[in-house]
Amino acid sequence: MVTASTEEGLSAVTERYLAREGGDPILTRASLRWSPCDSPIHKEGESLLAKSEQIRANGPDPYEDSVEADKAIALVFDISVDVLRQLESEKVFGTDFERSQLVLGVWMGDQSDEERIEFVRQLNSPAVVRRFAKELEDGYSAFTELSNNR
């Protein structure tokens, strides 16, 4: 599905976590920055890809450990990157400063940070990739520190 995160959404979810669990606001915000399922607008785009969802549902189970499932997942990711590159070439995501504030990526639930960075690398400028990788690292460190303090 299509998902998004915004600074406003990050502020809202940070406040929600702080109200529920307490903790350091800066560390909490850093730990939540790249947690898509915590974004208040995570499921906003759920209905945008109904045809794609139908195609995926008719294919192999993506959680099945098989060559067919691996090929289907790789195809979905390759097509997703190609489509995002096409939209990028059409300047759908803005230009210059506006675009530099946006991180395009392709994510799945059990993906490593290295895989996330690789997809970001395919779709963004080197400066955006460096910022994203640093924010992931900072988020992990913040999460670890918050966990140790509980």
pLDDT at 136: 96
pLDDT at 60: 83
pLDDT at 39: 86
**Domain range summary for the chain, segments of one domain joined by +:** 7-148
Predicted TM-score (pTM) of this structure:
0.85
pLDDT at 9: 92
pLDDT at 17: 94
Low-confidence ranges of the chain (pLDDT < 50): none
**Mean pLDDT score across all residues of the chain:** 90
Using CB atoms within 10 A of its CB, is residue 28 exposed (0-12), middle (13-18) or buried (19+)?
Answer: buried
